[in-house]
Amino acid sequence: MRRLIWLLAAFWVSQAQAEALDWAQFESDAQQTLVDLIRLDTSQPEGNEYLATNYLQQRLDAAGIASTIYEAAPGRASIVARIKGNGSKRPLLLLGHTDVVTVERDNWTFDPFSGTVKDGKIFGRGAADDKGIVAVAFEVLLALHRHQVPLDRDVIFLGVADEEAGGGLGITYMIENHLAAIDAEFALNEGGRGTIDPMTGKYLSFDIGTAEKTPRRARLIAHGRAGHGSVPSRDNPVGVLSRAVARLFDTPLPMRLDETTRTFFERLATTRPEFEAEIYRAILAPNPSMETQERLRDLNAAYFSIIRTSVVPTIFQGGYQRNVIPSSAEATLDIRALPGEDPEYLFATLRNIIQEPSVEIIPMRVTRPAHMPAPLDTPLFQAFETVIAARHPGATVLPSLLTGATDSAQLRSVGIATYGFGPGIVIGDDNGVHGNDEYLRVAPYREYLHLIWDIVNQVAATPSMAVD
């Protein structure tokens, strides 16, 4: 109770600090920064993130905030800026990536690098992934400096390169070469969102990314004897490989829950209709049946994925002529491992499932390291709960395991508790992330700015009053 009172007091202190802000101007600035960033073509594979870092550095220079640009390769640049606190607590890192995926211009309604604002939406490549988050983190840093908010911990801004290609020239480079510049107790990154009821406009829940699956991709190669297609053979590599892939496809790996996924289903069960809630409660029971797990998959395939390491065949190659049995055939597996999954045990399990001695399993190089989930008892996660409860009473905070990959993996692997959070999404919306006509809704984007400001203040600002 004492801690809850302190947290609520800290929240209202941040509210008092926020009263000095011109919120209309703050929101307008964040929107314009996003538009400016969209207009800079930082698409992969070239990236050329220096366009974004140069823009951000000029803005920081004008505000009187020192910054450093780090180039992993020509044009592949990340930028770091820091607002100093009193040092009583370790820093808070705010980050987002400035690179974006490439575009098919002919399939866009608007110029993908125009930042067009229309019908309450901001259109452009990177609007949702991830320049919207970069712009908010940047504007929050500027506002902390402009209003001279007293801080217990440094607040660090990182606009990082190369996330879309795995982070080798971005977050991995920064950790391996400049960790001291970004080292922190907590980090706030992409990888979560709010969910908005389209009928009422109310927020129903907020996903907070606390963990993500680790890519463990592999090649399957079946070897056999080449020959004429008119002479069937038992060791035809195409047939052998087909059997191996079919067994993997039909044999899900055992389910496993951790703190993140268990809490996710516990809280989700309290917010959903009974027919859904019954499935979530059944998943939480000891040793749920495969039938129960299949019911979960029928309801939501992503939920089925977060309770187990997934093995998905994605590419199948074999043969070169219709009347020739090839000497080999190959398949690619997209494996997404749960946190804490032992790689040796994983591949041994796959060999037992395949039961084909002539099939070789070759692990592929991955760029995302293994890591453990961020805890749920930290001041940053508690700030999510406190701020969301105050601004959106009744909305549920859901710690979430991402099935995809972000830069959070690298940060968690070096001991930085990293959480993913992003702007709200209206149910049924398709905002085109990595697709055509990518956009971000203006109203949820502005609310996201409010939430991040309050959360950062609660975690980093010095409370102006003591509560006994």
The contacts of residue 1 (CB under 8 Å, 6+ apart) are none
For 455, list phi and psi in degrees, rounded to 5.
-65, -45
> pLDDT > 90: what percent of the chain?
88
- 137 and 7, same structural domain? yes
442-460 helix and 132-146 helix, angle to the nearest 10 degrees: 50
Over residues 214-226, the mean pLDDT reads 93
Answer whether 346's CB lies under 8 Å from 335's CB.
yes
pLDDT surpasses 60 at 6: no
Question: What does the pLDDT look like over 34-59, one tens digit per residue?
Answer: 999 999 999 999 999 999 999 999 99
- 314 and 224, same structural domain? yes
Answer whether 182's CB lies under 8 Å from 115's CB.
no
- The encoded tokens of residue 28 equal 């307008």
pLDDT surpasses 50 at 2: no
- 252 and 172, same structural domain? no
Task: Give the pLDDT score at 430.
Answer: 84
Nearest to 413 by CA among 176, 62, 161: 176
- 136 and 27, same structural domain? yes
Task: Give the pLDDT score at 464.
Answer: 64
Task: Please report which confidence band the pLDDT of residue 171 belongs to, taking 50, 70 and 90 as the band edges.
Answer: very high
d(CA 272, CA 280) in angstroms, rounded, equals 10
Over residues 148-152, the mean pLDDT reads 96
User: Is 294 contained in some domain?
Assistant: yes
- 385 and 301, same structural domain? no
- The encoded tokens of residue 225 equal 């004897």
- 50 and 143, same structural domain? yes
- DSSP class of residue 461? B
- 160 and 94, same structural domain? yes
User: Is 465 contained in some domain?
Assistant: no
Beta bridge partners of 69: 79
Over residues 346-365, the mean pLDDT reads 94
Over residues 5-10, the mean pLDDT reads 49
How confident is the prediction for the chain on average, in pLDDT?
93
From first CA to last CA, the distance across the chain in angstroms is: 11
Question: What does the pLDDT look like over 364-384, one tens digit per residue?
Answer: 988 889 899 999 999 999 999
User: Is 444 contained in some domain?
Assistant: yes
- The encoded tokens of residue 81 equal 């800026």
For 115, list phi and psi in degrees, rounded to 5.
65, 35
DSSP letter string, 357-404: TTEEEEEPP-SSPP-PPPPSSSHHHHHHHHHHHHHSTTPEEEEEEESS
Task: Give the pLDDT score at 200.
Answer: 95
- 160 and 118, same structural domain? yes
Task: Give the pLDDT score at 3.
Answer: 47
* Domain-ending residue, one of 334, 363, 392: 363
User: Pairing between strand 121-123 and 67-73?
Assistant: unpaired
User: Is 404 contained in some domain?
Assistant: yes
User: Is 300 contained in some domain?
Assistant: yes
d(CA 308, CA 306) in angstroms, rounded, equals 6
- Which residue shows structure tokens 């039909």? 250
- 42 and 145, same structural domain? yes
* Domain-ending residue, one of 332, 363, 394: 363
Structural domains counted in the chain: 2
User: Is 61 contained in some domain?
Assistant: yes
User: Is 411 contained in some domain?
Assistant: yes
Task: Give the pLDDT score at 366.
Answer: 84
Structural domain containing residue 269: 214-363
Over residues 416-423, the mean pLDDT reads 97
The contacts of residue 302 (CB under 8 Å, 6+ apart) are 403
pLDDT surpasses 60 at 4: no
Over residues 437-466, the mean pLDDT reads 91
Q: Apex CA 36: angle with CA 126 and CA 442, to 5°?
A: 65
User: Is 48 contained in some domain?
Assistant: yes
For 121, list phi and psi in degrees, rounded to 5.
-130, 145
Task: Give the pLDDT score at 233.
Answer: 85
Answer whether 161's CB lies under 8 Å from 97's CB.
yes
Residue 228 Cα distances to 241, 328, 358, angstroms: 18, 14, 20
* Domain-ending residue, one of 344, 363, 382: 363
Encode 282-307: b = buried (16+ Cβ within 10 Å), e = exposed.
Answer: bbeeeebeeebbebbeeeeeebbbbb
3-class DSSP state of 209 = strand
d(CA 49, CA 255) in angstroms, rounded, equals 40
- 207 and 218, same structural domain? no
- 126 and 253, same structural domain? no
> pLDDT > 70: what percent of the chain?
95
- 258 and 317, same structural domain? yes
- Phi-psi region at 352: left, alpha or beta (left = phi > 0; alpha = psi -120 to 50): alpha
d(CA 155, CA 152) in angstroms, rounded, equals 9
- DSSP class of residue 232? -
For 316, list phi and psi in degrees, rounded to 5.
-130, 125
pLDDT surpasses 50 at 227: yes
Greatest Cα-to-Cα distance within the chain, rounded to the nearest angstrom:
87
The contacts of residue 6 (CB under 8 Å, 6+ apart) are 463, 467
User: Pairing between strand 155-160 and 324-325?
Assistant: unpaired
* CATH number of the domain residue 182 falls in: 3.40.630.10
Percentages helix, strand, coil for the chain (3-state, rounded to 5) are: 40, 25, 40
* CATH number of the domain residue 264 falls in: 3.30.70.360
* HEC-encoded secondary structure of 9-73: HHHHHHHHHHCCCCHHHHHHHHHHHHHHHHCCCCECCCCCCHHHHHHHHHHHHHHCCCEEEEEEE
